[in-house]
Amino acid sequence: MRNFARTDSHTLASYRGASGYAAWQKAQTMEPAALVEEVKKSNLRGLGGAGFPTGMKWSFIPKTHTGPVYLVVNADEGEPGTFKDRYLLERDPHALIEGMLITARAIRSALGFVYIRGEYVQPWRRFSAAVKEAYDAGLLGKGFDVVVHRGAGAYICGEETGLLSSLEGKKGWPKIKPPFPAIKGAFGQPTIVNNVETLCCVPPIIERGAAWFADLGTKTQGGTRMYSVSGRVKKPGVYEESVSITLRQLIERAGGVTGTGRLKAVVPGGGSAAILTADEIDVTMDVDGCRAAGTMIGSAGVIVMDESVSIPEALLVLARFYAHESCGQCTPCRESTGWIEKMVHRIVHGHGRKDDLDTILDVAKRGGGTTICAFYDGAIGPYISYIQKFRGEFEALCRA
Amino acid sequence: MPKVTIDGKEIEVEAGTNLIEAARRLGIEIPHYCYHPGLSIAGQCRLCMVDIEKTPRPTIACNTPAADGMVVQTETDRVKDTRRSIMEFHLINHPLDCPVCDQAGECWLQIYYMKHGLYDPRMTDEKVHKPKAVPLGPHVMLDAERCILCSRCVRFCDEITGTGELGIFSRGDRSEIGLFPGQDLENNYAGNVVDICPVGALTDRDFRFQVRVWYLDATKSICPGCARGCNIDIHVNRKRPHHAGGRRVARLKPRFNDAVNAWWICDVGRYGFDAVDDPERIRFARHGGVDVPLDDALGLLVAALRDHAPDEIAILASPDLSNEDLFALRRLAEQRGIRHIAVRMPPAAGHADDDFLLRADRHPNTRGAETIGLDGDVAAVLARARAGSVKVLWVIQHDLTASGFSPSDVAQALERVGTVIFTGTNENATSTLATLVLPFAAWVERDGTFTNFLGRVQRFRAALQPLGEALAAWDLFSRVLGMLGGTPAGGRAELWFRELARTVPAFAGLSYQSIGDGGAMLAGAPPTTAPEPPGRRAKAPA
Amino acid sequence: MSAPIQFTPAQLAEVRRLQGLYPDKRGALLPVLHMAQDSFGYLSLEAEAYVAGLFDLSPAHVHEVVTFYTLYFQQPKGRHIVAVCHNLSCHLAGAQDLLRHLETRLGIQRGETTEDGRVTLQAVECLCACEAAPMAQVDDRYELNLTAEKVDRILRGLT
């Protein structure tokens, strides 16, 4: 679906040259309810991390609401190992704009916000230029406006309601739910928050039909998606594949394992996904396949580790990340992310005890499901899986 | 109205009632920190989780409105285990300051740990360190390490006072409560954040290190600082007088009354009880500068009233007196035929209604005085005195020079008066000029009622014995009345209230019983509700 | 040097324009703080109070926002920011070696600014360019596939 290889792929001219905005033309002849149905039937699932069925999310907007409805694009890509949205913003911004136009029609929104992480300066400039092109061409500003909004550096603003708080000019503190954003979101109004890539799938779905999209994937998830592959592989980069691909196939597509050449472990779905060992890579890389394997596809950020990688060190990197990025709003996450980092630090530097490992596992388990948002549930993915699956390596570093 | 079942007990509540409130009405306590009924829902502490049928994971009770048919369990093993987890999370970085922390004994970390924690701590790493003993303005002390980041204080400054001084800065376990650097916590309601802080992060500077809270006794009363009559508890230290430098009243705390002050009290009232234990308290009667026995002084007072024509006598009564005091005074005046009684003073400069609770009228019973019929103008009486028409001037409680009259006017007036009698609680510029001085019991030392500016009659109660030979005002007036040949209503404040209710139509039907702990309205006065907090009034919707 | 903390009339017009884009003008706070940081060099307490005034917010609430986000500087920063990612893929590709190399070259620790005010060195979390690890954000650009030599070349270009 992606035409990154086009010259000047980010320009309107290039996009139109590849039949861009034809889907929008078609969508304008369809009723909003029909658009929602089409996306439902396509089995498109959120590609930012949660994997929620997109059409179903759109249908949560209350039918009786007469005030504004907002469409918010989550371009706060921040999950370790993920970089696909950066590519889309820089190389195919009009795909996002077209996706926004169609979605806005489906959910009856007249105002969209694109929240781009603050560090993405070049992508922000590229995307803003594309928005201007779209306004100049009369695509935007005729019933749908787009405001491009830069973040200021906080991973938690990738959480749906943390993003909304930040958009409202506050700290990126996620909101307590209920109410959910479709009922009460940005600025108190019904809001749909969708990931960049999810919206970029909408034009092809409308143009070529839900069945086509659904057939590309698995029974419960349609389409292709862009896998971000990095770490100890020969050809790190973005790979657009059917969601039915297995992790083994994906690693091969990326040229195979470097370093020692022997695979040790793989992070399949961004830093918050439970790690998989070398004999667990025949998992199907769709939402339900990964869930069944005890992990998650999340943002499809694949980090490959060979035998020379120290798993305890890798955990320390992530433990530091979660402690740094915890927003601090609710007690379990705020207090235990910092404590767990201290314990992992101690272990990696040779001052740990074996029962520290049990403490980490117990604390992580106790905090799961108790927090305002899923940040902590993401953090416990690595806390628990790295220690459980590579316990020997941790114990070897412990003193007692 | 939805019917919910909590721990097997059913209750019907108004739509929108959250589960903490519904459980409270059943006598079931769901532990919580960040929830406060007077503030918005934060959902941050995660302690109030309960099991709800058909919900896979425990849910926070504060953010869950009772729904019809909902079945809630608050004591399942899973809920208990969750509470133990949440307690551990709260204590990970909490400093073990109990031995030096004022909150000990009323600290909700202590209380809930004993009830819901009782685990062996396993945190052996260095805790996060934050600023300690940081003054936030004149009344509040912050210890940021002790803070559990429940955000009650931040929400208070946003939603109640509307002043927004407090914030939570930074992220993660480096999050810290604080003021904008360089600013102070200067609103007139700062002390309330100490009440609502569940732990010793925000403590009262006035109360700091005075006395342990388990030595305190509480008595229900009414703040006498202005005409609002906020409901309070007086906390007195009777058990450890050698702590707190002999100060008997340790502190005042607001008492909830949704018809008057909700959960709050202003700083003027909260910290305005200095006079009670001030060294300048009048404890004994004095004549010509020499201490005399009380009975002798009473005799001299009665003689002064008897030996002069009623028109040559003037009484400056005080709106600080209770309904019982004032009614007894009225009877006394009627007995002797004294017509020149004044109560109304010019308002002191700089006193205005604030935008919430504090009234410009800094007296608790102006309305009571008017209703009982004692509302003459003090300025007029002083003018008569200056003109030489007053032979006996009985000043009750007033410090005339502090009340907006010029010292020279007052001096002139008092010079022309033959006998100046002062009865009051504290020495002041006027009492030192009086020939005869008799001691009054302070408001914390006697029973009575005040009528607030909206006509609400509220009971205040004695928490302490009077000092020296001081008498409650109604008691002193009672004895004088008796010595003048009249019939006192009795030896208790309540008996005077009964007599008042029988006599003054506005008080008809009221009794100490009907007034209870929440107060009751004068006849014809419409019921009241606590005013809307300025923080909520100010915000226009987005 | 103490330039006044104040926007020009043109900047104030831009503030109004930004505020008008959002249903609640507070939505423009993050963009305006970026503007203020670009104009005044960093966000001092005075700058925070100034911006608070433009939004009818208490200074404490602006301070909350400034202390929450990592791209806002509360102290003067170098003319250039070199922010090296030290998250997972970059760690696997040698980010720590790169950081140590930079610390030696610049004579400072991560988190500090060179004495001549030229460079602030930071270690930051995932910048989402893992396919080109190790990498850093230098001012507005991503510098990818870094080596010690590349880093030295980049530093030479920073004045």
What pLDDT digit, counting tens, does each position of B478-488 carry?
999 999 999 99
Question: How distant is the Cα of B229 from the closest Cα of chain C, in angstroms?
Answer: 31
Query: What's the mean pLDDT when you consider all of chain B?
Result: 95
Q: How many domains does chain A have?
A: 3
Question: How distant is the Cα of C149 from the closest Cα of chain B, in angstroms?
Answer: 36
C88: which residues sit within 8 A by CB, 6+ positions away? A80, A81, A231, A267, A271, A303, A314, A317, A318, A321, C126, C130
Residue whose structure tokens are 């078609």: A26
Task: Give the pairing of strands B49-52 and B59-60.
Answer: antiparallel
Structure tokens, A247: 């992790």
Residue whose structure tokens are 């083994």: A248
pLDDT at residue B539, as a whole number: 58
Which residue segment(s) compose the domain that C134 sits in?
A: 80-156
C153 contacts chain A (CB < 8 A)? no
Question: Residues A284, A373: one domain?
Answer: no
pLDDT at residue B331, as a whole number: 97
pLDDT in tens, A33-44: 999 999 999 999
pLDDT at residue C26, as a whole number: 98
CB-CB contact of B230 with B318 (8 Å):
no
Which of A149, A187, A231 minimises the CB distance to C89? A231
Which residues on neighbouring strands pair with residue B51, listed in sequence order?
A: B73
Dihedrals phi, psi of C106, to nearest 5 degrees:
-90, -15
B425 contacts chain C (CB < 8 A)? no
Question: How distant is the Cα of C26 from the closest Cα of chain B, in angstroms?
Answer: 10
Mean pLDDT of B207-220: 96
Which residues of chain C have a CB within 8 Å of the CB of A120?
128
Query: What single-letter DSSP state applies at residue B442?
Result: P
Identify the burial level of B205 via C-beta atoms within 10 angstroms of its C-beta, where 0-12 means exposed, 13-18 middle and 19 or more buried: middle
How many pairs of residues across A and B have Cβ atoms under 8 Å apart? 95
A330 contacts chain C (CB < 8 A)? no
pLDDT in tens, B424-434: 999 998 898 89
Question: Residues A96, A194: one domain?
Answer: yes
Which of A171, A335, A369 minimises the CB distance to B173? A335
CB-CB contact of B287 with B295 (8 Å):
no
Question: Residues C44, C14: one domain?
Answer: yes
Which residues of chain A have a CB within 8 Å of the CB of B43?
176, 330, 372
pLDDT at residue B540, as a whole number: 47
Mean pLDDT of A216-244: 97
Question: Residues A176, A240: one domain?
Answer: no
Cβ contact A236–C29 (<8 Å): no
Closest by alpha carbon to B23, among B61, B59, B76, B49? B61
The CATH number linked to A294 is 3.10.20.600
Task: Give the pairing of strands B9-12 and B3-6.
Answer: antiparallel
Q: For the domain with range B285-346+358-521, which CATH number is right: 3.40.50.11860, 3.40.50.300, 3.20.20.220, 3.40.50.740? A: 3.40.50.740
A193: which residues sit within 8 A by CB, 6+ positions away? A72, A73, A74, A160, A163, A164, A181, A185
Is the pLDDT score of C1 beyond 60?
no
A170 contacts chain C (CB < 8 A)? yes
Query: Is residue B100 very low, low, confident or very high in pLDDT (cuts 50, 70, 90)?
Result: very high
- Collapsed DSSP state (helix, strand, coil) of residue B177: strand
Q: Does the residue C74 lie in any domain? A: no
Which residues of chain B have a CB within 8 Å of the CB of C23?
542
Which residues of chain C have a CB within 8 Å of the CB of B180?
45, 48-49, 58-60, 63
Cβ contact A338–B42 (<8 Å): no
Cβ contact B168–C64 (<8 Å): yes
Question: Residues A241, A290: one domain?
Answer: yes
Q: Does the residue C73 lie in any domain? A: no
Is the pLDDT score of A5 beyond 90?
no
CB-CB contact of A245 with A21 (8 Å):
no
pLDDT in tens, B17-48: 999 999 999 999 999 999 999 999 999 999 99
Q: Does domain B3-91 have CATH number 3.40.50.1820?
A: no
Which residues of chain B have a CB within 8 Å of the CB of A363?
88
Distance CA B334, CA B327 (A): 10
Question: Residues A257, A113: one domain?
Answer: no
Cβ contact A338–B43 (<8 Å): no
Fill in the amino acid letter for B184: D
Cβ contact B164–C60 (<8 Å): yes
pLDDT in tens, A156-215: 999 999 999 999 999 999 999 999 999 999 999 999 999 999 999 999 999 999 999 999
CB-CB contact of A386 with A361 (8 Å):
no
C51 contacts chain B (CB < 8 A)? no
A60 contacts chain B (CB < 8 A)? no
The CATH number linked to C146 is 3.40.30.10
Tell me which of B407 and A289 has the higher pLDDT.
A289
Interface of C with A in 37-56 (CB under 8 A): 55
pLDDT at residue B541, as a whole number: 45
Structure tokens, A104: 């806005």
Which of C23, C49, C63 minimises the CB distance to B167? C63
Is the pLDDT score of A346 beyond 80?
yes
Mean pLDDT of B365-391: 92
Cβ contact A170–C133 (<8 Å): no
Question: Residues C100, C134: one domain?
Answer: yes
Q: Does domain B108-277 have CATH number 3.30.70.20?
A: yes
Which of C70, C92, C128 minimises the CB distance to A82? C128
Question: Residues C123, C58: one domain?
Answer: no
Report the percent of chain B where pLDDT is more than 70.
Answer: 99
Which residues of chain C have a CB within 8 Å of the CB of A153?
69-72
Structure tokens, B271: 């910290």
Per-residue HEC secondary structure of B215-259 comes to: HEEEEEEECCCCCCCCEEEEEEECCCCCCHHHCCEEEEEECCECC
Domain boundaries, chain B: 3-91, 108-277, 285-346+358-521
pLDDT at residue C123, as a whole number: 98
Cβ contact A172–C126 (<8 Å): no
Which of A150, A155, A189 minimises the CB distance to C31? A150
A43 contacts chain B (CB < 8 A)? no
| Helical segments of chain C, H only | 9-21, 29-40, 45-55, 59-68, 88-92, 95-106, 148-156
Question: How distant is the Cα of C74 from the closest Cα of chain B, in angstroms?
Answer: 12
pLDDT at residue A269, as a whole number: 97
Report the percent of chain A where pLDDT is more than 70.
Answer: 100
Which residues of chain C have a CB within 8 Å of the CB of B170?
67-68
Is the pLDDT score of B346 beyond 90?
no
pLDDT in tens, C19-69: 999 999 999 999 999 999 999 999 999 999 999 999 999 999 999 999 999
Question: Residues C143, C95: one domain?
Answer: yes
Question: Residues A141, A97: one domain?
Answer: yes
pLDDT at residue B538, as a whole number: 60
Question: How distant is the Cα of B162 from the closest Cα of chain C, in angstroms?
Answer: 10
Domain boundary among A198, A216, A234: A216
pLDDT in tens, B515-539: 999 999 999 999 999 999 999 986 5
CB-CB contact of B426 with B281 (8 Å):
yes
Domain boundary among A306, A335, A354: A306
- Collapsed DSSP state (helix, strand, coil) of residue C147: coil
The CATH number linked to C26 is 1.10.10
Cβ contact A330–B46 (<8 Å): yes
Domain boundary among A159, A191, A216: A216
A337 contacts chain B (CB < 8 A)? yes
Residue whose structure tokens are 């620790």: C109
This prediction has a pTM of 0.96
Question: Residues C64, C84: one domain?
Answer: no
The CATH number linked to A385 is 1.20.1440.230
Cα–chain center distance at B534: 20
Cβ contact C133–A121 (<8 Å): no
pLDDT at residue A6, as a whole number: 87
Integer angstrom CA distances of residue C47 from B171, B328, C34:
21, 63, 11
Which residue segment(s) compose the domain that A115 sits in?
A: 12-216
Q: Does the residue A4 lie in any domain? A: no
Question: Residues C49, C101: one domain?
Answer: no
A399 contacts chain B (CB < 8 A)? no
pLDDT in tens, A130-159: 999 999 999 999 999 999 999 999 999 999
Which residues of chain C have a CB within 8 Å of the CB of A162?
none
pLDDT at residue C2, as a whole number: 64
Which of A178, A324, A370 minimises the CB distance to B46? A370
pLDDT in tens, B129-149: 999 999 999 999 999 999 999
Interface of C with B in 54-73 (CB under 8 A): 57-61, 63-64, 67-68
Cβ contact A149–C30 (<8 Å): yes
Interface of B with C in 171-210 (CB under 8 A): 171, 178-183
Per-residue HEC secondary structure of B279-314 comes to: CCECCCEEECCEEECHHHHHHHHHHHHHCCCHHHEE
| Residues recorded for chain C | 159
Question: Residues C59, C99: one domain?
Answer: no
Residue to substitute from B77, B147, B168, B171, interface A, most A β-carbons within 10 A: B171
Question: How distant is the Cα of B350 from the closest Cα of chain C, in angstroms?
Answer: 26
Report the percent of chain C where pLDDT is more than 70.
Answer: 99
CB-CB contact of C109 with C53 (8 Å):
no
CB-CB contact of B61 with B19 (8 Å):
yes
Task: Give the pairing of strands C119-124 and C80-85.
Answer: parallel
Residue to substitute from B169, B185, B193, interface C, most C β-carbons within 10 A: B169
B148 contacts chain A (CB < 8 A)? yes
Which residues of chain B have a CB within 8 Å of the CB of C48?
180
Structure tokens, B383: 């003018």
Mean pLDDT of A207-227: 97
Is the pLDDT score of C114 beyond 90?
yes
Which residues of chain B have a CB within 8 Å of the CB of A171?
168
Q: Does the residue A174 lie in any domain? A: yes
